[in-house]
Amino acid sequence: MSCNHEHEHEHEHCCEHEHEHEHEHCCEHSHEHEHEHEHCCEHEHEHKHEHHHEHSHDHGHSHGHSHGCGCGCGHDHGHSHDHGGEEEQGALTYVRMGLSAVGLLASIFFLEGTWQLVVCIIAYLLAGFSVLKEAVENITHGEIFDENFLMTVASIGAFCIGKYPEAVAVMLLYEIGEWLQDKAVGSSRASIEALVNVRPDHANLVKGDEVTTVKAETVSVGDIILVRPGERVPLDGEVIEGSSSVDTSALTGESMPREWTAGSAALAGCVNQSGLLKIKVTRPFSDSSVSRIMAMVEDAQDNKAQPERFITRFARVYTPAVCGIAVLVAVIPPLLGWGSWSTFIHKALAFLVISCPCALVISVPLSFFSGIGCASHNGILMKGSNYLELLAKAEIAAFDKTGTLTKGEFSVTEMSSADGVSQEQLLEVAAYCESQSTHPLAKSILKAYGKPVDGSRLAGIEEISGNGIRAVLDGKTALVGKAELLDGVAVTTQTSGATAVYVAYDGRYLACIGLSDTLKPDTKEAISALRKLGLHNLTMLSGDRQATANSIAGEIGLDNAWGQLLPEEKVSHLEELKKLGSVVYAGDGINDAPVLAAADVGVAMGGLGSDAAMEAADVVIMTDELSRLPLAIRIARKTMSIAKQNIVFSIAVKVLILALSLVTDMGLWLAVFADVGVCMLAILNSLRALRTK
């Protein structure tokens, strides 16, 4: 459908919007509305962000995620949402590990000689079959220096030197450590996967007078579904009948229910709390809001922060290096006569066991994943862990005005009437003249009037190009618009409002109406919180009049305010700010694409279900609340702190244990205990990022 609405609508706000968006919409609107009031901002927005996201969502539900260590450890943590299979696999794991543990204890306390060897081999295979299989497969693919290889060599070496129980202990404790790691990874994913799990797999399909329960994926766009109180909305759509209070917390983290009525956008995953809703489906099951959000979060794993990239580079050098050192430890001392071959082979094996930097390569990515999960739980979507890092470094904050600091909704804030003119009278004249306009200012005036308009009183409405509206009301001429429109009628009053609309009737000046955009309720709180976090040079970059920008900035306590800016001028000011430090810019995600792209971190005040906002920025605040920005920064800083703690702790302990293994007779099982212990402490520390407030 192509809709061309031509209205040239100019208020003395100097607001000329030229939006070039490379987004495909089913309805193309070209608005040219000749209706001039006093606005002073000229916007030319060229939206040139090209994002190529290819997401295939087969929500049956299977999301396989490979969280590689980066060191070649071969940690492939596959998460399949085939819950029956998971339960069977988990039960089998428990049985294997239990039998292996029984065999190990029997070999230590009750068995000797051949029977000890036989039982240890069985226990070893039960515990380590998957590791041995993975090691062989990786070697065939040219991936030699991984964790599976290290564990295989160390354990087989232990058998070779007669340390049968230690060989079993090496593999069993390693498997226990892997199991605990998988549990920790699963816990960190819980807040993100909750987005997937809130999607019901059925829908109540309405066909005539009949309602049938069907699989949600079988429902087509255009179908009508019924959502009863207490049920989750299965698909995105539009409410066509009914009204209800709806819980959107699964998507936004917002506890306050939203009211849905006919015409409201309905989003999958939300819970209908009270009324009966009929919804016309607008997106298929695989392309619902939840799916798109989840896809974005999953893609975030591909954008690594600097510490993660460091770990990857470090591990590629580290692993073959320790293998070489282990060979030297096993060979050089015996050749020099410093001890027996058995002693130093044992030391080399212990060295290999504890050399794998699992704590480092698992805990650091897990820290960032936990941070992304915490942000998602609070309605903040990160497009990569690198943006967590950049947010943590943010020193300066800049903001768009409309839709970011303010609601983007004009309201009548001031009326300056001529002598003897009542506010009711002037609003009546203005409302009747604006009654056929769809402009936001016209809607604001009609809302302030608050009464129905009797069209029979209007003999005609004429739009005067560049100035406003002339109408015949009750047989007399009414004028609403710029001061120039009043054509000789003396203007005797002014307003301090952002936008001035002048009204005259029957050749007499009535009033000047001031309309202003209102602040969001949490704007002042957000600005105060950002200052407490140490951010400075808080700046507004607005296309609105300078006087308006100054007024808003003074009210909320900004350091700088720049008005009447074109998009390219906003970018220029932002580049100047970047010379002073790292800049985070918050805009509406639609009109501020160039600035969002130019900032170190672009934050879109997306609003629930805003596709354009998701495409425009690095971070999307789904609740449209500016107060979520300081929360995002706190999450980012805590995540970075935890990641650095894990790096320092893991490397320090690893070096200490490696040194001890060379100068003491540390057993293999102690080496594994040490390795698993360090890893689990680092993982538990990583999970703290999930609880940032």
- Phi, psi (5° rounding) for residue 67? -100, 85
Q: How far apart are CA 219 and CA 267, in angstroms?
A: 15
| CB-based burial label for 391 (10 Å; 0-12, 13-18, 19+) | buried
Q: Cα separation of 456 and 463, whole Å?
A: 19
CB atoms within 10 A of CB 194: 16
Strand pairing category for 468-473 and 458-464: antiparallel
As a whole number of angstroms, the distance between CA 353 and CA 344 comes to: 14
d(CA 387, CA 394): 10
Distance of CA 179 to the CA centre of its chain: 29
Paired tokens of 96: 């294997």
400 noted as active-site residue: yes
- Rounded Cα gap, residues 620 and 596, in angstroms: 11
DSSP state of 265: E
**In the structure encoding, which two tokens stand for residue 496, read together?**
């301090």
C-alpha angle 570-541-38 in degrees, rounded to nearest 5: 100
The 3 state secondary structure assigned to 228-248 is: CCCCECCCCEEEEECCEEEEC
236, 400, 544, 618: the catalytic one is 400
The answer for residues whose C-beta is within 8 angstroms of residue 436's C-beta and 6 or more apart is 461
Strand partners, 475: none
Q: Which two tokens stand for residue 137?
A: 């497969």
* Residue 334 three-state SS: helix
Tokens standing for residue 414: 């001031």
Alpha helices by DSSP H, 281-357: 289-299, 306-335, 341-355
Query: What six digits make up the tokens of 393?
Result: 């470094």
Tokens 């890893």 sit on residue? 679
Angle at alpha carbon of residue 591, lines to 590 and 592, rounded to 5°? 100
Task: Compute the radius of gyration of the chain from its Cα atoms.
Answer: 33
For the annotated catalytic residues, the residue numbers are 400
